[in-house]
Structure 1
Amino acid sequence: MRHKIIVSLLFSALFCLMAQTALAAPDQEATPAPFKFSIQSESATSPEAIVDSMTKFMKALPQFYATGQVSYDKVFQDNNKILYSFDFDYYVKRPGSFQLNLDGDEQNKQILFNGKTLTVYDADKAMYAVIESPSTLTIDEVLDKAKEYRLTLAILDVGRSNFGDNLLKNVVKSAYVGLSNVGDIFCHHVAFAKNDISYQLWIEEGDKPFLRKFTVTLKTNPAMPTWTAEITDWNLAPVLPEGWTEFVPKAGMQKIEFLKPSTQPVSAAK
């Protein structure tokens, strides 16, 4: 009889413990860990210092070629998301020349800039449009001008001399996540949060802090769509043939006009 009572008490205690654990679990899951800066070796792992190091390194590059892949969410009704992707090749020569080639699910485009003329060619539609400038512009300046026409593409910003500086504007929280492997390359993984977006960067460890991967999440959209780019190769001495930033229309291509900034619909902003 005593044996049965002891067994019964043990069973009751075990049941109570399991019940407490089960009841506690939802509360634990509903309280995510705080997003804050890791204080391990603060001088070496400050997210801002790592981005600043990358910015200075990339700004000093007179020219480069970067290639990789971008994946991005497209949001549909009821916050359903479909993942799309495209490959890219990006040639940059400072202060004012670039060529970007996109080949993917939806994006089959070429974007060229020769210092005065920005050309966007859509291969799927055989259409192109240009933005002309009476004066010579830098890459930073033409990308700012393109924004006035609602023409934005995050991978283009890698060519900016102030790329990293822009990332750090209006940051409310930051975190050093740790060392991570991206394509067999050890990288510092850092994260930043702003009021409307959050983003993460993977920056190569060592004296050549190349950007290897970055991701942006839009927090103002309930579906939280994410855009991710992984740069698989950098070349600091690319072959740039004569006329590499000039667009020559072929027969059958149609020239269209960008909407002027004053006529752009508000809903077109991204």
Structure 2
Amino acid sequence: MTRRRHLGNTTVLRRWAGSIAVLAAFAGGTARAAPEEADSAQKSGVSPKARSMLEKMSDFLGGQRQFSVQVDGSTEVVLQSGEKVEFNHESEVRLKRPDKLRSDRRGEKAEMEFYYDGRSFTLYGENNHYYATARAPANIDEAIDAARERLGIEAPAADLLYSKPYDILMEDVVSGTYLGTAFVRGATCHHLAFRGNETDWQIWIDDGPKPVPCKFVITSKKVEGTPEFTAEFSRWNFSPRLGDEVFHFSPPSNAKRIDFLVEAGGQGTKGDKK
């Protein structure tokens, strides 16, 4: 069974505009990729430098036993008229391997908290004070898969939370290019671009001693209007104080428990969280 869940299924993306070489020509400065490298990448698949940088980020993130990070995201939605509108949100993500994960999201469409404590999932809506709980697998990788397959809980940036992000990110990739360096929130980053059968995506990786992702953009080629999902990462902390109580949901006195709505066959229909 394919384990990559989010890059090929998210609907928050835009179409890749033009070839890698054309994009690089307009980038200017250090962000410009050499034409011969772009041409080589198209012919040979993934350029060695793009592969190496992604592996470096993956090894670093997967090797962290715990961390917290701020995620500022935007989700494009294409209306029936063809007009695109954008909804912004911010999330605080806390992870403790092998079996703890929490995400607190604030945004225009919803204010939600997601808890995974190694035994169960809980999704809590702060606006309506409803929460739902379901049994969960015993590690983060399987939990991310199960949350989508069973409960319909989507999270495009969750690909970066797996123990081996490289394997998940690369499953649908047919080509990849190193575009050079660029600045994201004042940090010098390596800019990589990848093309897949279902999605195209870009990632900016910090050039410092900690090769963390600084920005992540996913573009869907299977959705009309090709909307885009964007996430920027900041305030990385690799030694946070994360007791088990952080990942355990204790319902407020005014909270009401409801069930996840699940279709026959186990596919979730409600509880979407990005």
TM (norm. structure 1) is: 0.80
Unmatched segments (≥5 aa) in structure 1: 1-30
The change in CA–CA distance for 1:250 and 1:178 in structure 2 (over 3 A counts) is: same
Distance of 1:107 and 1:59 partners within structure 2: 29
Distance 1:107 1:180 in 2: 32
In the TM superposition, residue 207 of structure 1 has moved relative to its aligned partner by: 3.3
Q: 1:67·1:90 contact (CA, 8 Å) conserved in 2?
A: yes
- Name the residue aligned to 2:29: none
Q: Which has the larger displacement, 138-147 or 254-263?
A: 254-263
Alignment-derived partner of residue 56 in structure 1: 59
Report the alpha carbon displacement of residue 97 of structure 1 after superposing the two structures with TM: 0.3
- Say if 1:117 and 1:130, in contact at 8 Å, map to a contact too: yes
Aligned to 2:85: 82
Aligned to 1:215: 217
* Residues 1:107 and 2:118 aligned together: no
Deviation at 1:206, TM superposition (A): 3.7
1:25-36 aligned at under 5 Å gives the runs: 32-33=18-19
* Equivalent residue runs for 1:152-171 within 5 Å: 152-171=154-173
1:141 maps to: 142
Q: Which residue identity does 1:61 align to in structure 2?
A: Q
State how far apart, in whole Å, the 1-side matches of 2:129 and 2:268 are: 27
Secondary structure in structure 2 of the residue aligned to 1:86 = strand
Q: State the Cα distance separating 1:258 from its structure 2 match.
A: 1.3
- Indicate the SS of the match to 1:79: coil
Partner of 1:188: 190
Structure 2 equivalent of residue 252 of structure 1:
254
Decide whether the 8 Å contact of 1:174 with 1:192 is kept in 2.
yes
One-letter identity of the residue aligned with 2:139: T
What is the rounded CA distance, in whole Å, between the counterparts of 1:250 and 1:184 in structure 2? Answer: 40
The alpha carbon displacement at 1:262 in A equals 2.2
Helix, strand or coil at the partner of 1:125: coil
**3-state DSSP class of the match of 1:244?**
helix
The CA distance in 1 between the partners of 2:162 and 2:67, in whole Å, is: 12
**1:45 Cα offset (Å):** 6.1
Based on CA coordinates, which of the two structures has the bigger radius of gyration? 1
Q: Which amino acid aligns with 2:187?
A: I
Match of 1:176 in 2: 178
Higher helix share: 1
When the two chains are superposed, the root-mean-square deviation of aligned CA atoms in Å is 2.8
Once residues 161 and 95 of structure 1 are traced to their aligned partners in structure 2, the CA distance between those partners, rounded to angstroms, is: 9
Letter of the aligned partner of 2:52 in structure 1?
A: A
> How far did 1:195 drift?
1.3
Secondary structure of residue in 2 paired with 1:78: coil
Cα distance in 2, alignment partners of residues 262 and 250 from structure 1: 31
Contact map agreement 1:48 1:168 (CA 8 A) in 2: no
Q: Could you state the TM-score of these two structures normalised by the residue count of structure 2? A: 0.79
- Structure 1 residues 47, 107: closer, same or farther in 2, change over 3 A? farther
Identity of aligned residues (%): 26
Question: Higher relative contact order by CA 8 Å / sep ≥ 6: 1 or 2?
Answer: 2
Q: Note the C-alpha offset of 1:155.
A: 3.0
Give 1:200's aligned residue.
202
Distance 1:129 1:108 in 2: 15
Cα shift readout 1:88-136 (whole Å, capped 9, x = no counterpart)? 1111100010111001111311001110111111112211111214xx6
Structure 2 alignment gaps of length 5 or more: 1-16, 23-32
User: How many residues in Structure 1 have an aligned counterpart in Structure 2?
Assistant: 238
